Chain A
């Protein structure tokens, strides 16, 4: 196709200058050698999908939202994952923290220079406020992306910025003042394209890679010393490695369920060469398990460990036999029983909620 472009455009010009009458009739055929493939996108279709907002705010819809309104939306739709103050580390990395008034002045987040500073929050890293608006608009809330209206996106963005003291508590963010807010982003000067990892010349980055090893073949180093290896207690932290390797082959998986025999070759440390394969479970799958995925329960709850909310096993233990209580609790939501992060009221069909409640009350068997 690129060949066609190089050849065809001059050809079109020549033809057009000599045969003006024909130019109109051949124009369509010349614009594509693939007639019948693709059609015009309508303005409504483009409006429905073209939602991106660039750093120069091209694509940003008009609108506004206050910090106060943003807080209401946040507590209802965002806090269960990100914490009331954007500080939560339970599901995703924290959004807020680690920035200072000085950073807002300089545009460089000083804590990024410290190797001892624990964690890097979104507000420490992001240089462009458009990025926040764009992603909240396209992808949040996590289980209902694209459900916020533009004014709500402005409000949520304003609240997030207020948590990092980029804007005051009484601020109203809008398309009119967002460019001024950009000038207060704590890490706005923190980006560099001086590297060799961009696959084009648009950024005029570094001319060469930043490492330059040589392929030495003999006596390259005086001595290899082991500087880092996993401690013995972590040997089985990823599960039994014997079960993660093929049953046959030049090496087998180490049986990490047993202590390592350090003194002799292969004395009981390798998996036996002949193992009866694990048969897939033949018992019927409880319909509640499918509903947990369908209604996004698993976004916050896991079978056997706390995520945002308590594990299904813990709920089943605490409320054994209490299906009616669980049904009501799923519908109403709440907080304080398992921790401060609220569970929003669930709007799944009653029958589905009953199925899940029954499953929990009966022991949450997987």
Chain B
């Protein structure tokens, strides 16, 4: 089979001309003529060993030489037998047994204990913008708990007229809102500040997830307590677990109505690993501020210099100073397929897809390059495009079998454009650990295997 630009394919049997729209064909043809292959081949020569051998055709879906596919000819058991009944699995459904590879995972050697550690969400296997609750990334500082919600209490004190205690029943009586927001650890992509360190998007970018959160705006609860919104410029949020994590949050963010005291996640209660029964939702701000097992809010007139804003979650600059109270997760994006550790099964058409987000607002556009950042095309943004939520992008691509370096570059509605590593390192050096929002590069090798790379 021959496509319009002469790629031989053993996999796509129907005429690919019909598969591509006219514009797609024009794009492919133009790209093949603009010298792109030539310079990437040069760029890649140092990294790739071995000469390009004649292409072996993947036999994923060949036309059978005689008869037909046994998966069609021999009717399977599920077509000829009786299936399972309703409300199996104890009344709570679980993913297909064939999805067992899709798991959150630890990065080996990153931490010595599982209680003060991280598990990464499998971004390479997710669709759309919602992270299934069971695959939401985890970060615990002192282990997780499954807390009896009938015994959980929430307190507000400090610069308030009346310090208050609320039960879960009472919080759930109040007017609620449901909003989609991303939560990203400030240390997401931290291991890549200096150079490439991990193989897949799960480990480079998997400390981000996006859910529909349901809860009560914190401002509602503060007003019930009669908080001093003029002089109380800061709040301290405190967890009820062993570490009783604390973080400082500006009152101006709370009076905007964005900060939620949340109990719901994707239509059900929060998962225990994500703070059941109550957590703070601080849109656009790094995950460490989204206090889990939330037990108390204190209203005060100065920042608190809690451990996780005075020892960790500070950004070291080349001059030896730490930037303290760095909270916003700036505009960032990543291609999730094709991505590191995956293999393109064949030449031909692919849908490049990925995620973009900004802690300052909505995603305005995402551009994608397949030549390491020389030329860019604007991707399709899938709806919904929401403020401080993940946004899904897609763009058509026909792979010609040559080395390609795939990148995505997001722009948010403040006009901020996601930086390259060169920009970031010029501004912050390589030792700041947190807030790495650089453009990610994936090298598609001639053998189809995709590698995590950084380009100069």
Interface residues of A (CB under 8 A from B): 1-2, 4-5, 31-32, 34, 36-41, 45-46, 49-52, 54-56, 90-92, 108-110, 112-113, 115, 120, 122, 125-128, 130-131, 134-135, 138-139, 142, 145-146, 187, 190-203, 209-230, 234-235, 237-239, 241, 243-247, 249-254, 256, 260-267, 269-271, 273, 277-278, 298-299, 307-308
Contacts and interface: CB of A to CB of B under 8 A. Distances in A.
16 contacts: A1-B217, A1-B223, A32-B224, A34-B224, A39-B164, A50-B157, A52-B298, A196-B328, A200-B253, A219-B374, A221-B374, A244-B103, A244-B124, A246-B125, A252-B342, A256-B341
A154 B101 CA distance: 49
B275 to A, nearest CB: 17
A295 to B, nearest CB: 13
Nearest to B108: A238
Interface in B287-332: 295-296, 298, 300, 302-307, 310-311, 314-328, 330
A153 B108 CA distance: 34
A192 B314 CA distance: 10
A75 B412 CA distance: 52
B140 interface: no
B456 interface: yes
Given A52-B236, A226-B44, A227-B454, A139 B244 contact: yes
Contacts of A202: 233-234, 250, 252, 303
A219 B375 CA distance: 6
Contacts of B328: 196-199
Contact of B319 (A113, A224, A241): A113
Contacts of A127: 305, 310, 324
Contact of A250 (B50, B100, B243, B350): B350
Contact of A226 (B47, B236, B242, B344): B47
Nearest to B421: A227
The 9 A-B pairs at the shortest CB distance, nearest first, are namely A224-B372, A200-B250, A113-B320, A251-B342, A241-B341, A211-B419, A112-B320, A197-B326, A41-B163
Contacts of A146: 242, 244
Interface residues of B, number: 168
Contacts of A192: 317, 321-324
Contacts, number: 417
B207 interface: no
Contacts of B49: 262
A269 B114 CA distance: 32
Contacts of B373: 220-221, 224
B337 A145 contact: no
A303 B291 CA distance: 31
B455 A227 contact: yes
Residue of A134, A191, A224 with highest tally of chain B CB at under 10 A: A224
B207 to A, nearest CB: 15
B226 A31 contact: yes
Interface string B322-366: 111111101000000111011111110011000000010000010
A215 B411 contact: yes
B125 A54 contact: no
B18 interface: no
Nearest to B343: A270
B39 A223 contact: yes
A273 to B, nearest CB: 6
A54 to B, nearest CB: 6
B307 A253 contact: no
B453 interface: yes
A212 B435 CA distance: 15
B71 to A, nearest CB: 9
A20 to B, nearest CB: 20
A252 B257 contact: no
Given A215-B417, A226-B44, A245 B341 contact: yes
A37 B166 contact: yes
B200 to A, nearest CB: 6
A197 B423 contact: no
B450 interface: yes
Given A52-B306, A192-B322, 5 more contacts: A127-B324, A215-B376, A224-B43, A225-B372, A254-B343
A56 B200 CA distance: 45
Nearest to A270: B343
A202 B232 CA distance: 11
A260 B219 contact: no
B166 A229 contact: no
B440 to A, nearest CB: 12
Contact of A261 (B229, B315, B447): B447
A277 B98 contact: yes
Contacts of A254: 341-343, 449-450
B155 A46 contact: yes
A278 B99 CA distance: 10
B310 A126 contact: yes
Nearest to A51: B244
B244 A246 contact: no
Contact of B342 (A122, A226, A245): A245
Contacts of A217: 367, 375-378
B427 A247 contact: no
Interface in B96-116: 97-103, 105, 107-108, 112-116
A138 B157 contact: no
B445 A38 contact: no
Contact of A277 (B100, B224, B341, B443): B100
Residue of B101, B105, B226, B304 with highest tally of chain A CB at under 10 A: B101
A93 B304 CA distance: 23
Given A2-B257, A273-B60, A245 B124 contact: yes
Nearest to A236: B199
Given A223-B374, A244-B122, A200 B316 contact: no
B310 A269 contact: no
A224 B371 contact: yes
Contacts of A299: 113, 115
Contacts of A265: 55-56, 58, 344, 346-347, 401, 446-448
